[in-house]
Structure 1
Amino acid sequence: MARILYVNIPSEGHVNPTIGLVKELVDNGEEVVYLCTEGYRKRIQQTGAEFRTYQVNENLFDELGFTPTEARHPLQFVDFILRGIIEPHVPEILRLVQNESFDYFIYDSMFGWGGSILEEKLGIPAICSITHFVFTEPLELEESADAHGDLDIEALHKQTTSTLERIANTYQVTIPAIEDVFFHHGVSKLVFTSRYFHPDADKLDDSFILPGPSLTPRHDAPEFPFELLRSRYEQVAYISMGTIVNKDVEFYKLCFEAFQDIPVQFVLSCGKETDLDPIGDCIPSNFIIEPYVPQLEILQRVDAFITHAGMNSTSEALYYDVPLVTIPLTSDQPIVAKRVEELGAGIYLDKNSLTPEGLRSALLQVLQEESYKKQAKQIGDSFREAGGYKEAANRLMSLFLKV
């Protein structure tokens, strides 16, 4: 039996793909100690893993002056990883597991270089858990400052370099190049997608394991009136913009205008903290709106999905052969949306030029042209054939087989 440390960040898209893997490891006799924030305690404990919590600054984005949807340069993400994740959390993680022994540890890719620091300080092999596409090309850090308006790239570069030096001095480790802060360290890298769906998969060597998405039932999913889905219309479309950037009431108004007279049943997940009262009079009769829905169960019953193209939501939809209309907002979402369109499983819309007419046209095209469903199924087949969390667990256990 191996003893495993799993270190993750508090994000639905990063935690959910790991649940099946952790449970499978535990069910096979492995001992897993899982570190995340308090909000994920119940979900992790249901896998049989031991859960430990670390603290997160609730005002982090404000204090760092970082807004994911408004980031205009890769250095802003590097700065966030250094000052928002590595610097505050690596010492806390080391404190939580001091004087304990593990056979190996798994860390989320958002820890970046922090994973390498933990690997060195813990003295055990590391596995990088990647819930997005792997960056197969170096970060473009030398873009013209003119392309980024009033963003002071020179000052940002200086601040990033200073933070790198400060962290390296704290742990007495080698300072990496700035572009390597995102580098995926570890003896293996576990990527929760298939080689077919991953762009430029031929550039990923044998240290990358791609078992497809890891989907498991969510015990905290709310109830939903599934009997209403096709009670009035033959087709159903689902709308969700994720759990982080989902309070854009103007976008929801645009959806109402676009779809109010279409004979399709719409399900809108608007987020637990979104107040739709000011636009309550605008809600069409063909909309079912809930703050939170059982997404996996919904996706098994719909004909199309309008999404922000987060990797988790996109993978869940394609796993169930659902074609997409993507409206990426931030981070890696444009890359995911582009890949979906490249493979013919959906249509990519630009958030900055979105209109009711354009959104309506895209959805009708996805619903009416069979090719989108066919290509979504091809990606879904690649996901299911990749093996999921069982394959991931088997690969990890074979790497660290204890005689």
Structure 2
Amino acid sequence: MSRFLFVAPPLAGHINPAVGVAAELTARGHAVAWVCAAPALVRRPAGVDAVVYPCAGPMPGTGDRVRPPELRGPEAMRFLWERFLVPLADAMAPGVVAAVGDFRPDAVVADQQAFAGALVAERLGVPWATSATTSAEFTDPLAGMPKVALWLDGMLRELRNRIGDPAGTADPRFSPHLVLAFTIEELAGPVVREGVRISYVGPSIAHRAAVSGFPWERLDPGRQRVLVTLGTVNADAGARFLDVCLAAARERAHRLQTVIVDPGRALGAEDPRDRDVLVLSSVPQLALLERVDAVVCHAGHNTVCEALWHGVPLVVAPIRDDQPVVAGQVTGAGAGVRIRFGRVTARRLGAALDVVLRDPGPRAAAGRIRTALRAAGGGGAAATHLERLADGVVPKEDE
């Protein structure tokens, strides 16, 4: 049996897909361990017995890493790289080196934003795979911004000189051995980055610990249901948008029941008028997706793929980072409607909801993608690729 070391950033959206793969590897008899700056984030979905090597690293949304909500485009990306991704790699590197030395993995599985995993593995001669929890990088979003691309290449080169092999050549975001993409080509579109080979495995849907206290008894079988969520890291930017969603939900309460996820309590105390609009700080998302008819979200990759895995059409309102690219994939596939996050009104949001709930086109498209996503294999397919990597087998072009 083989040994696999997962290197993950302290971001739930990047850990959750890998958990399903790790669980499959464990079920097959392999040994699995993790390196993460927030062990509790790993153990929450992976279980309290998960082996997690600690390491240093900044936490997103703390101190000077609180990204101003108005930042968009290149400025938002610059903030992400300078204030979080590169400092995270520098801080994690010693912990990754120590974990590799103690655990002695046959392969490292490095998240696409945990550069330390890739650079340390390359330096120490350990085969490594990329865990790509978003497909946005495959489209080369900086192709039209050569100066930004040069700046980014320079940052990665300097980082490699500090923590990796200065003579190395691999981009830490794209393993030359194996790139696992938790999506499908039908949704992500063709890869435009030269030399990057992708293994599309679809979403890795794993069991998650139940969120206690969800009022299942309040769900009305006589009305269509809508889930509104902005993911785990967008509370700072979402207050106005959630207000708009609440207004649209109130206008349609006679025929729609809306569940709004509000972890930052942006909507304040529950209003008596909203007895049929459920505003909660957290929800059991996978279980709830089995019971809703539409999702309104920020076009986060995990939320989009999980919704489509359940055949649920979407209203997408991208904020920044990879979200505009993912939103374009949703609309390009015909599985949803895109709205403007910062300028949408209750009237426009309501109209978009009416389209995905009443027009058969988005639901039919979501159903087609659901079939393709489930056929891709998920965590099981990813585990098979990793087994081959540990055995020294490089995936073929068509795998």
TM-score (norm 2): 0.86
**Aligned counterpart, 1:8:** 8
Deviation per residue, 1:192-239 (Å, 9 max, x gap): 1112111215878794211110112211433422232225x4211111
Letter of the 2:7 partner, please give it: V
Q: For this pair of structures, how many residues does the alignment match?
A: 387
- Range with greater deviation from structure 2 (25-34 or 73-82): 73-82
1:14 shift after superposition = 0.6
Could you say which residue in structure 2 is the equivalent of 1:56? Answer: 57
CA drift at 1:401? 3.4
Matched residues in 1 for 2:341 and 2:273: separation? 21
Q: Which residues in structure 2 correspond to 1:1-400 (within 5 Å)?
A: 1-36=1-36, 37-43=38-44, 45-46=46-47, 49-58=50-59, 62-63=63-64, 66-67=67-68, 70-73=71-74, 74-80=77-83, 83-98=86-101, 100-112=103-115, 114-140=116-142, 143=145, 157=151, 161=154, 164-165=157-158, 168-169=161-162, 171=164, 173-174=166-167, 183-201=173-191, 207-231=197-221, 233-247=222-236, 248-262=238-252, 263-271=255-263, 273-277=264-268, 280-281=270-271, 284-400=274-390
Tell me how large the CA RMSD over aligned residues is. Answer: 3.2
- Structure 2 SS opposite 1:52: strand
> How far apart, CA to CA, are the structure 2 residues paired with 1:388 and 1:19?
11
Contact 2:43–2:49 (CA<8 Å) still a contact in 1?
no
* Structure 1 residue identity aligned to 2:215: P
- Matched position secondary structure for 2:188: coil
Judged with a 3 Å threshold, the aligned counterparts in structure 2 of structure 1 residues 64 and 270 are, in CA distance, closer, same or farther, namely: closer
The structural deviation recorded for 1:381 is 0.6
List alignment gaps of at least 5 residues for structure 1: 146-152
Shift of the alpha carbon at 1:65? 7.4
Q: TM-score, normalised by structure 1?
A: 0.85
In the superposition, relative to structure 1, how do residues 282 and 122 fare at CA in structure 2: closer, same or farther (>3 Å)? farther
Secondary structure, counterpart of 1:98 in structure 2: helix
* Farther-moved stretch of structure 1 (318-327 vs 347-356): 347-356
Question: Does the Cα contact within 8 Å between 2:109 and 2:130 map onto a contact in 1?
Answer: yes
User: Against the structure 1 CA distance between its residues 58 and 209, is the aligned structure 2 distance closer, same or farther, given a 3 Å change threshold?
Assistant: closer
The answer to whether the 8 A contact 2:139-2:193 is kept is: no
Which whole-Å CA distance do the structure 1 matches of 2:157 and 2:165 have between them?
A: 12
Identity %: 26
Which residue of structure 2 aligns with residue 148 of structure 1? Answer: none
Q: Which runs of 4+ in 1 moved over 6 A?
A: 202-206
CA distance in 2, matches of 1:163, 1:400: 26
Moved more, 304-313 or 11-20: 11-20
Unaligned runs of 5+ in 2: 394-399
Cα pair distance change 1:54/1:358, threshold 3 Å: same
